[in-house]
Amino acid sequence: MAKLTFAQHIFSITNSGSDKLITILGIPIRIDRSGYYKKFCQDLEIDNNKIVFCNFNGASYGCNPKYIAREILKRKLPYELVWLTRDVETETKNKNFPAEIKLVGYDTKQGLKELAQAKLWIDNQRKNYFIKKGLKKKEGQYFIQTWHGALGIKKLDADVKAFTNEYKQDWVERSRYDSSMWDYLLTNSTFENEIFRRALWFNKELKEFGHPRNDIFFENSNEYRQKIGEYYKIPQGKKIVLYVPSFRDNDDISCYKPNYDILLKTLEEKFGGEWVCITRLHPRAKKFDKEIIPQNAKVIDGTFYPDIQELLVSADITITDYSSCIFDFMLTKRPAFIFATDMKNFDQDRGFYYPLTSTPFPVAQNNDELSENILNFDYETYKQKVEEFLKDKGCMEDGHASERVVDLIENIMMK
């Protein structure tokens, strides 16, 4: 355990398991945050008809959980579907969810009760918040972990030194416990089978079903294109470039430096037509959207749109630095580019599973290089590289992942 600094010795607040540890003048005071769960939730009877969904720690209707719920509703299965979200009022007002899904506050006592009663949990992120509140999976409950990236290049959890050092031991402890609760973990490739098992501390059953959120790329994109166009009032006929940078663990925002005027002019020169850019920041960077995204008629802030997959399937081109979304987008075979101004530092701080230059995407570290890569882009070469990359990673996406997952769910719910 790391030694306390002088200031921390006087006063500090840290996490210790499910307790909050407050130190005043060297005297530790423990506050048990699991009391409510132990007293009011632990002994609740399991409802064999209830499924509780969560997306990115209480985010809106999106990612893999959305497409699983969509398939359940399509089959008209008789389950009670509950979704934990941070803003029930806004989500209800904006009608982001189907009427058949019950919304419950993510960080509420009712949310804990729903988890305690559900036969099945479906999540794309860790339940560390609820573990701190005392959550324990009971006998007769099941947990499908979908995760939230495909063929991602960024190192994960156990493979990141900064995540596993002595100052992160409480996080490691909760994360390993969280992984121990997963009954099934979804993957889409032999690459993910290897990485997920090791990096996510998982030793149970991998389900190489594909990622449900990627089923959208095998559907007709015109419906989504029209929806996005109407939502953002994009004139019909204009082309869309989607810029989706990842977050930085240190919250650095100096790395987001696209020259939008030059970018849009270059795209017009290379591909023709008139272009707009939708910029969508990662959930962990969305608090910076006003600082990063300029007020510009041709630049749209897409940070708070509920479902990034609908943006991806509507885009003509996607640009990112390290976001795994580009490995979803590549399934469309449409052009994609890497714009990474801090590639060396990011590799040192977080780490890559394979070099950016080994992907099918032309790599740029500044705006001049990005323009050059766009102007020199050769579609036939790119398409061949995409096919070779997917084959090398053992990717099996085919548009039927949600169906496979819901087949599994039907089996679980009958147990």
Q: What is the pLDDT of residues 240-282, one digit of tens each?
A: 999 999 988 788 888 888 999 999 999 999 999 999 999 999 8
- What's the chain look like in SS3? CCCCCHHHHHEEEEEECCEEEEEECCEEEEEECCHHHHHHHCCCCCEEEEEEEECCCCCCCCHHHHHHHHHHHHHCCCCEEEEEECCHHHHHHHCCCCCCEEEEECCCHHHHHHHHHEEEEEECCCCHHHHHCCCCCCCCCEEEECCCCCCCCECCHHHCHHHCCHHHHHHHHHHHHHHHHCCEEEECCHHHHHHHHHHCCCCCEEEECCCHHHHHHHCCCHHHHHHHHHHCCCCCCCEEEEECCCCCCCCCCCCCCCCHHHHHHHHHHHHCCCEEEEECCCCCCHHHHHHHCCCECCEEECCCCCCHHHHHHHCCEEEECCCCHHHHHHHHCCCEEEECCCHHHHHHHCCECCCHHHCCCCEECCHHHHHHHHHCCCHHHHHHHHHHHHHHCCCCCCCCHHHHHHHHHHHHHHC
Q: What is the mean pLDDT of residues 283-298?
A: 86
227 with 161, same domain: the answer is no
Q: What is the mean pLDDT of residues 95-120?
A: 97
Is pLDDT larger for residue 250 or for residue 235?
235
- Is residue 16 pLDDT above 60, yes or no? no
Give the predicted TM-score (pTM) of the model. 0.90
Structurally, how many domains does the chain consist of? 3
- Is residue 1 pLDDT above 50, yes or no? no
Give the pLDDT band (50/70/90) at residue 289.
confident
- Considering the domain boundaries, does residue 1 fall inside one? no
178 with 271, same domain: the answer is no
264 with 382, same domain: the answer is yes
331 with 385, same domain: the answer is yes
Instruction: Residue 16: give the domain boundaries.
Output: 6-32
Give the pLDDT band (50/70/90) at residue 347.
confident
285 with 409, same domain: the answer is no
Whole-number average pLDDT of the chain: 92
Here the CATH number for the domain that contains residue 51 is: 3.40.50.11820
